[in-house]
Structure 1
Amino acid sequence: MKQSGTTALLQGAVQDLASSVVSDLHGGGHAPPADPAGGPGRDLELAAARVLGADLLMPALLHRAPLTQDRIGLVTGTLDAFPPRPQAAPTVLWSHWAMARAAGLIDVSGAAPEAPDAAWIDGVPWPFLTHQLAVLAPLALPGLECAVTRAARDRTLDVARGFVRAVRRRDWLQAAGAGRWLATLEKVPDTLGLGTGLDFVELMGGSDARVLLQVRAARLLGTGVLV
């Protein structure tokens, strides 16, 4: 019961933090104040920040919006609190690298660690590729060029297939993540109807703030304009 309650609290914290990023992307700037260091909700907030990863910095990277001291402290605190183990899953290693790299791009922290190995993504079946890319959607940001982004470019059609599959399976978070990648890729088939597909994903899955975040990112990235 305790584990279930903790999971629910974390899910709620992730939703709140994702909503604040969506608000920032819309120019709202209504992020709730962070708990002070050592406050009762600080560990939960850091764990939620770890889930969102580099997306915490998306408003600064896309809009050149200044970060509050609370957000900077949350990013640096998360990087310090959750260093990945060497044997961690590839998505964990890459998520940490993406956050550190994004923080370095806007001078929030020092140099990012060396990019992890990406051999695990070579030649994987397209459903698995789409799943992994959706988990690593925060890598689809300006300035985060790496082996994973190159793999996505090399397999645009497979990512498009994965997007359609996720929509048909009503996996809205995976569909939104795949759609975000497709918004950054060239040679996406016109027949895919990505814009209409993203509208449908938002309509059906928009009660999840993480879905809204990915759809909003996809639309911003698809314009090719940093405002």
Structure 2
Amino acid sequence: MPFADTSSHEEYTAAVERVAGRALGVLMDTEGSVVPTGCATDPSHIDPAAGGSRDRGADPDADLPGLRVLGSDMLAPHVLRGTPLPADQAEAAARAFTVFPPETLGTSADTAWILTWRDWATARTLTRFGLSVDVPVPGDGAQVADATTWQAWSVRMAQLSPLALPGLDGPIHAAARRNADSLARGTVRAMLRRDYRTAARIARWLAFVRADGVTYPLDLAPLLRHIRVFGGGSTRTVLDTRIAQHVTGLEGS
């Protein structure tokens, strides 16, 4: 997503963290965190402790960048816990597509396909909550058909981590199942490089394929704990690890 200046970049980054914090609250069943900041008109809904500020209650679009960037990840807690998605959050997610169409997100010809798949995941997940959003039809997933060069392949899969949710399936998921060992290698490589954000996102796929019965030579539970401890304090990264835990039934880890 292009930014006009540094302050806009910081605001958008803060929006991603706020929305991730509320999604994390839903996933962890934290009281009072199910209403997204900026999506409610009542300033009392905003939680300053989660990174929000009360004056943002006057701006209903304050968190739209966060909703657009997180996409299906902000819906994942409701999918995994079986909780209803508040109507205002569903409407805000749909509005984010209108306010930030694909051409405004700074994608190149080489990466546009990633956004198309991520948007597909968001749209498909929104249909579970009764909301329809028109998005381009993704291709055949040829870009991740094999993991011959597993280093680059695993990074691409990290970028596609919002697809690693129950109820979604397609050629990207099939590639993940075929190449579980490459996912494990990519996770370890990211950990050694202390790139915990990438490690957490690839771990989402490891959780997804393990839930499907695919095995690989890596113990996921301690890896996820390590990322949470040393991952740099990013709420979004913590959300990734917690989603992975819920997918595999490791919530207590």
| Structure-1-length-normalised TM-score | 0.88
Amino acid at match of 1:100: A
In the alignment, what sits opposite 1:105?
Answer: 128
Alignment check: 8 A CA contact 2:39 2:92 kept: no
Out of 194, 197, 204, the position equivalent to 1:170 is 194
Alignment check: 8 A CA contact 1:101 1:112 kept: no
Q: Specify whether residues 199 and 142 from structure 1 end up closer, same or farther in structure 2 by C-alpha distance, changes over 3 A only.
A: same
Alignment check: 8 A CA contact 2:176 2:205 kept: yes
Is 210-219 or 86-95 further displaced after alignment?
Answer: 86-95
Residue by residue, what CA displacement relative to the aligned partner does 1:60-100 show, whole Å, maximum 9, x if unpaired? 21111111122112111123333435966111111111100
Amino acid at match of 2:124: R
Unaligned segments of structure 2, at least 5 residues: 42-56
1:54 aligns with 2:81: no
Distance 1:32 1:75 in 2: 10
In the alignment, what sits opposite 2:238?
Answer: 212
* 2:207 match: secondary structure: helix
Shift of 1:144: 0.8
* 1:188 match: secondary structure: coil
Q: Specify whether residues 129 and 203 from structure 1 end up closer, same or farther in structure 2 by C-alpha distance, changes over 3 A only.
A: same
In the alignment, what sits opposite 1:13?
Answer: 15
Q: Specify whether residues 7 and 214 from structure 1 end up closer, same or farther in structure 2 by C-alpha distance, changes over 3 A only.
A: same
Alignment check: 8 A CA contact 2:37 2:63 kept: no
| Structure-2-length-normalised TM-score | 0.79
Distance 2:139 2:62 in 1: 27
Unaligned segments of structure 1, at least 5 residues: none
Write 1 or 2 for the structure with the bigger share of helix.
1
Out of 60, 66, 87, the position equivalent to 2:84 is 66
Is 85-94 or 175-184 further displaced after alignment?
Answer: 85-94
Identity of aligned residues (%): 31
Amino acid at match of 1:189: Y
Distance 1:80 1:167 in 2: 37
Out of 189, 195, 219, the position equivalent to 2:216 is 189
Alignment check: 8 A CA contact 1:49 1:78 kept: yes
Is 13-22 or 126-135 further displaced after alignment?
Answer: 126-135
1:34 aligns with 2:38: yes
Alignment check: 8 A CA contact 2:73 2:162 kept: yes
In the alignment, what sits opposite 2:44?
Answer: none
Distance 2:139 2:100 in 1: 16
Is 69-78 or 80-89 further displaced after alignment?
Answer: 80-89
Shift of 1:112: 6.5
* 1:166 match: secondary structure: helix
Q: Specify whether residues 68 and 34 from structure 1 end up closer, same or farther in structure 2 by C-alpha distance, changes over 3 A only.
A: farther
Alignment check: 8 A CA contact 2:150 2:182 kept: yes
In the alignment, what sits opposite 2:96?
Answer: 78
Alignment check: 8 A CA contact 1:61 1:106 kept: no
1:118 aligns with 2:141: yes
Distance 1:166 1:184 in 2: 18
Distance 1:217 1:22 in 2: 9
Distance 1:60 1:95 in 2: 18
